[in-house]
Structure 1
Amino acid sequence: MRIIADYDRCEGHGLCVDQAPEVFDLDDDGELVHHLEDQDVPAALEEAAGRAVDSCPVAALRRA
């Protein structure tokens, strides 16, 4: 599974970071950092990454 981030849509709520801190972070400016951009999410992180996608209130994340 890959996760695609729409950086223009992201509002920096940080719910994805709460669910999957190994995959997502917010930088000092509150901008989304996707640590696995253009990579498959490791199997051990898929469940947390899926919760992160589902938790985004502005649908800035999607499964690919």
Structure 2
Amino acid sequence: MLDQRIQGLYGITPNNNLNIALIERVITEYQVNILQYRHKTNDDQLKLNEAQQLLDLCLTHNTLFIVNDDINL
């Protein structure tokens, strides 16, 4: 049987100007089951900080977290 988290809404973060509070509201209100982090920047520390915040958020809301195009994260 398919994991329930794979069904439903799939959110993708914007490429810049990440608003964690807004993303949390969307995950909560619309029951997003999967969140993909997408940030095309060379600032590795920024990506790490944002990814950690999003991972914590996803763990809290039982949302599957995917990182796009960055094997190091």
Structure-1-length-normalised TM-score: 0.33
- Which has the greater radius of gyration? 2
- The structure that is helix-richer by fraction is 2
TM-score by length of 2: 0.31
Structure scoring higher RCO (CA < 8 A, sep ≥ 6) equals 1
